[in-house]
């Protein structure tokens, strides 16, 4: 009887240990797999909408940081190790302040603009899916 109880306890401990390890591995995997996306936007309404849409549709893909203040945004890009930095073209950001590991692009009002200030540009007034694909494209070029 004592032998069976010990085996049951041992099996329970092993199962518990395995479940804890799996939980930690999957939590860390999700944390590391998410792209850190910082958005600097002058229009608060647009900023709230894009953050809401991206959080809903792509919350498992992105960890989103949103800003209306350029100094705070740049500090976050540096300190939080942001992967992609999207900036409203109303702001002039010195690309030299952006770490090399961080992809940088401007949000513009027209689909006809591909670059601005020698940086990649994407139209902010298009379907979220298209913006998402363009972000992934820019991110993959720098990865």
Using CA atoms, how far residue 21 sits from 18, 24, 30, 31, 33, in Å, is 5, 5, 14, 15, 18
How are beta strands 103-108 and 115-116 bridged, if at all?
unpaired
pTM summary value: 0.77
Q: How confident is the model at residue 32, as a pLDDT?
A: 54
Q: What is the pLDDT along the chain (143 residues), one digit of tens a residue?
A: 445 556 665 666 666 555 555 555 444 444 557 999 999 999 999 999 999 999 999 999 999 999 999 999 999 999 999 999 999 999 999 999 999 999 999 999 999 999 999 999 999 999 999 999 999 999 998 87
């Amino acid at each position: 009887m004592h032998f069976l109880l010990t085996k049951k306890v041992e099996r329970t401990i092993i199962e518990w240990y395995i479940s804890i390890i799996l939980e930690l591995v999957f939590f860390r995997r999700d944390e590391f797999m998410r792209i850190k996306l910082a958005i600097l936007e002058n229009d608060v309404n647009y900023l709230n909408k894009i953050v809401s849409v991206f959080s809903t549709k792509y919350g498992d893909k992105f960890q989103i940081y949103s800003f209306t203040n350029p100094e705070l945004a740049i500090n976050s890009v540096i300190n939080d190790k942001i992967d992609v930095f999207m900036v409203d073209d109303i702001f002039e950001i010195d690309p030299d302040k952006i770490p090399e590991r961080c992809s940088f692009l401007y949000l513009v009002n027209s689909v006809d603009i591909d670059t601005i200030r020698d940086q990649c540009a994407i139209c902010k007034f298009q379907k979220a899916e298209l913006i998402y694909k363009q972000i992934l494209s820019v991110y993959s070029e720098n990865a």
